[in-house]
Amino acid sequence: MRMASFEAFACDGCKSLFARSQSRCRRCGAPTVLSITLSGRGTLTSFTTIRVPPTVFQGQEPYDIAVIDLDEGLRVTARLTVAEGREAAIGDPAVFEEMRPYGPVFRLI
Ligand SMILES: [Zn+2]
């Protein structure tokens, strides 16, 4: 099974996690936000199927956009891959698959 670790960022002061690099912590203002590696494991918190995508994604529809709560506590919005014949449900486990130019891709397991 393919699975990748998820690159994220953590404040050196309050330990808040962020999906994107920060020049200083959005929560406590500390100037040091470090790159960290998370497990890439998480839980499906919500999802929606896009049937009428923005122009840049036309031809990829339908596709699913999900909110994933990573085990370490970081919440990310991601493209969701669901196996043929499978129905996604809130609470399903998901793993990080790869980073694309438009953002992360997770897959239900
Ligand atoms: Zn902080």
Q: Where are the domains of the chain?
A: 6-108
Looking at the predicted structure, is the pLDDT value of residue 1 above 80? no
d(CA 81, CA 62): 11
How many H-runs (helices) and E-runs (strands) does the chain carry?
Answer: 0, 8
Please list all protein residues whose beta carbon sits less than 5 angstroms from ligand 1, which is an ion: 11, 13-14, 16, 25, 27-28, 30
> Which pLDDT band, with edges at 50, 70 and 90, does 3 fall under?
low
What is the reported pLDDT for 23?
93
Between the CA of 14 and the centroid of ligand 1 the distance, in Å, is: 4
> Cis omega before residue 62 (within 30°)?
yes
Region 14-21: mean pLDDT is: 94
d(CA 43, CA 90): 8
Residue 97, both tokens:
């698959």
Hey, what amino acid is at 109? I
Between the CA of 24 and the centroid of ligand 1 the distance, in Å, is: 8
Question: Helix (H, G, I), strand (E, B), or coil: what is residue 2?
Answer: coil
The third-level CATH classification (topology) of the domain covering 6-108 is OB fold (Dihydrolipoamide Acetyltransferase, E2P) (2.40.50)
What is the reported pLDDT for 83?
87
Q: What is the pLDDT of residues 50-109, one digit of tens each?
A: 999 999 999 999 999 999 999 999 999 999 999 888 889 999 999 999 999 889 999 999
Whether this prediction's pTM lies above 0.85 is answered by yes
Hey, what amino acid is at 65? I
HSE-CB for 77 with a 13 A CA cutoff: 3
